[in-house]
Structure 1
């Protein structure tokens, strides 16, 4: 497994931000992490990076339930951008609703749907399996 230059965490809960960031940093696979607290902030930041030809993340961990723009709104808008880079998105949410799982599977960019809380071994496995 090669190193990931940039990961993006889109999450509004400070506890989940802390844990996910700590796990990502401790994994040894991630060089840089950008954190956004809602979908709109993430969309605007990533769109700006794309427009100015800055580095985009290889992986996005996306919560569904957030203020301003939820994860669904982010996905709807982000997938409209003509970004050529392969970006893998993992839903990381507290929702156990089967309808949410089905909806997530309808997005080509979403690789997996994970229910919080995520553990360090689960996150490392997710990163290691990215190239599969």
Structure 2
């Protein structure tokens, strides 16, 4: 644990999570529970930006006794600004998978190297392959 502590504060975690990239939904986080998401691929890029929906993933990260547990879901981010669990079409799947895998590696590395915390997958986490 180079600079971290075993029990980092909520605000130290938020700061570290924000540094990973634009995935953190800070307004929907509370101590011990964090929400991330990614709009990885546009459903129909012929539509005007304000009418676009996206394929992607979202993840709830919850504190456990030994670290954190990730529960990933995948689907469509609709016009109402809500996630719907749906099968991602083949045309967008590789982009969504690649993005999620890159994010997961960064998150795992951040939790381990900065705070000495483990990252496990929730049993209900969606498989992407």
For the criterion TM > 0.5, the same-fold answer is no
Bigger strand share? 2
Q: TM-score, normalised by structure 1?
A: 0.31
Q: TM-score, normalised by structure 2?
A: 0.32
Larger Cα-atom Rg: 2
Bigger helix share? 1
